[in-house]
Structure 1
């Protein structure tokens, strides 16, 4: 149970590559913000995935980790490098965790930061990506991967779109829009895939009838990609299926400045996982050069999700402190090398920690 008076109990998973560095930097900032907000210290529950888990258990995503996560409401996940796992262990831990624990919503904001050069400085939107099915073969089947080869020269994949999944992701997007600029854009490809993405579009409109204060429109995914480049300021909340959401959110992240700043939250109605959009960057591991900002901003999303769920003003304050501190640090021209700055991972983190206490 998460209880502010008794202290939050959060899972923490280092992952691979730069994971241990950015996770440690994120823990430090969360601890600082929680203390500054007046809460008891966080109880961190360390768990293993990736190469550390292979060394300990012979499995990059051991059952022990999944069982432990089922006892937690929230956790931070570092990046993983499943491409470097042994060939018989190429599981993607993040996707498996999302499927096992039914984290059906992937919420990815994209907004430009003062002090960071952005291709689209006016961008300020959130992509709400359906996380459990669609065209991603690892998540759309009860058993099996969803991909198959009837002959040596033919490969096929199955896409799954269900009314239940469309309804719940539409509610997520529409509720989020109510707290922003009250505009949702449904992204689909119903002109070519009318039964699958057409169902997604139609169900989103059906759910939208329950939110008369929110304006809802729709775009084809190819047109949406062009419009994000041409006029990103037109959009507030974008809701779409799994594959489309993955692609569009990476595009939006680059338009807003860098994937090194791209935060995300994976959640259900009862659990949430903070996970930066970027990968493990194994070439940077151990050099104190990684950018921790995306995971720090993801942790702020996690704290805010808990604050909303539990109606907890202290956690709202802690989330705001993390977001403001990272934003102010970047605005002061302090950044890691990927953003053209000179700060190391630890130096950037110390600057953020100092600003956590500022109003």
Structure 2
């Protein structure tokens, strides 16, 4: 038996997580998988009533699980830095989920805002636990004219090496091409160091072609030449921005998945759709569940069930190709329940 901790979170997170659970049940029956689930009510709603997104022993309670499936976090009235640093980031860091993996691809039936975005298929590998999102810093002279804030970026040799090695191995298993996102012409310490480590590690993987792109030029090329890319490796901030831009280029952030991975498998990894909690449509039954379902497929693959993951992926492709089984945000007519029914039907349920 493999145990899954489910954290629906806020807004449409609850709806899309329930949808993913239903699809997982269908594919588990088809492949005779033994999956068990425990649900946790950790959310902004919990914060407003109890003063914390999760209990003090939340991380310890998650530790025995094989994986974590997260819906979405965020709600009006709770500052974003409170919701993020109260739940998502502590889990990522406590479980050493240093790889944030975000696949980007186009699908038949999902229109890109670009004139020519056919055959886009690449992966953003984002460093997930250090970089620009450090906790080192503070504010001084609050409320005075000379108030200031300092936040330090942290790039360690261990951290950069392991994310680059992961990206190189992924590129080797795909089309053999790695792009490193940098800005070392302007950020002269941390990103020059990043470039040096990338070059050192790439030299040990001669069968992978690689280059480096300054982040501003890279953002432009993702729009102008998205088919060019295979694997992009980036720091925490750059990877965060690039992956959302790339999802929009592919047609919709609503279908984009992500995985927060501990590649050593010492700790549970966490899987979540990229979209937010969407309070404006929460509870209406119209949320697009594909991002959560695709994230669940990534979870299946991580748990050692690639055939089941491939079946879910094929069901997603079939549903997206048909406007009758696409949600309205993608120009279709289906509601959340309709998409789930179609996915389950494709899985033989």
The TM-score with structure 2 as length reference comes to 0.92
SS at match of 2:72: coil
SS at match of 2:6: strand
SS at match of 1:14: strand
SS at match of 2:242: helix
Take 2:279 and 2:234, find their aligned partners in 1: how far apart are those partners? 31
Task: Say if 1:129 and 1:239, in contact at 8 Å, map to a contact too.
Answer: yes
Match of 1:199 among 193, 199, 205: 193
State the shift of 1:322 in Å. Answer: 0.9
State the shift of 1:210 in Å. Answer: 2.8
Match of 1:282 among 258, 279, 282: 279
Report the equivalent of 1:294: 291
Report the equivalent of 2:12: 18
Q: CA RMSD in A?
A: 1.9
Take 1:322 and 1:72, find their aligned partners in 2: how far apart are those partners? 22
Task: Say if 1:106 and 1:264, in contact at 8 Å, map to a contact too.
Answer: yes
Q: In structure 2, do the counterparts of structure 1 residues 328 and 86 end up closer, same or farther at CA, with 3 Å as the change threshold?
A: closer
The answer to whether 1:248 aligns with 2:242 is yes
The TM-score with structure 1 as length reference comes to 0.89
Task: Say if 1:33 and 1:321, in contact at 8 Å, map to a contact too.
Answer: yes
Q: In structure 2, do the counterparts of structure 1 residues 329 and 87 end up closer, same or farther at CA, with 3 Å as the change threshold?
A: closer
String of CA shifts for 1:193-239, please: whole Å, max 9, x gaps: 12101111221221223322111111010110011111111110000
Match of 1:236 among 220, 230, 233: 230
String of CA shifts for 1:309-350, please: whole Å, max 9, x gaps: xxxxxx111111111111111012221111111111011011
State the shift of 1:85 in Å. Answer: 2.4
Report the equivalent of 1:79: 72
Task: Say if 2:2 and 2:66, in contact at 8 Å, map to a contact too.
Answer: no
SS at match of 1:129: strand
Take 1:191 and 1:296, find their aligned partners in 2: how far apart are those partners? 40
* Structure 1 residue ranges without an equivalent (≥5): 1-6, 308-314
State the shift of 1:39 in Å. Answer: 2.0
Task: Say if 2:105 and 2:250, in contact at 8 Å, map to a contact too.
Answer: yes
Equivalent positions of 1:334-353 (< 5 A) are: 334-353=325-344
Q: Which is further off, 189-198 or 219-228?
A: 189-198
The answer to whether 1:102 aligns with 2:116 is no
The answer to whether 1:216 aligns with 2:193 is no
State the shift of 1:123 in Å. Answer: 1.7
Aligned length: 338
The answer to whether 1:272 aligns with 2:269 is yes
The answer to whether 1:331 aligns with 2:321 is yes
Report the equivalent of 1:63: 56
Take 1:149 and 1:319, find their aligned partners in 2: how far apart are those partners? 50
Take 2:241 and 2:295, find their aligned partners in 1: how far apart are those partners? 19
String of CA shifts for 1:127-149, please: whole Å, max 9, x gaps: 0000111112xxx23xxx53434
State the shift of 1:81 in Å. Answer: 0.6
Task: Say if 1:123 and 1:233, in contact at 8 Å, map to a contact too.
Answer: yes
State the shift of 1:34 in Å. Answer: 1.6
SS at match of 1:264: strand
State the shift of 1:260 in Å. Answer: 0.4
Q: In structure 2, do the counterparts of structure 1 residues 85 and 218 end up closer, same or farther at CA, with 3 Å as the change threshold?
A: same
String of CA shifts for 1:10-57, please: whole Å, max 9, x gaps: 1101100111110000001111112111223x1002123113433674
Take 2:82 and 2:310, find their aligned partners in 1: how far apart are those partners? 39
* Structure 2 residue ranges without an equivalent (≥5): none
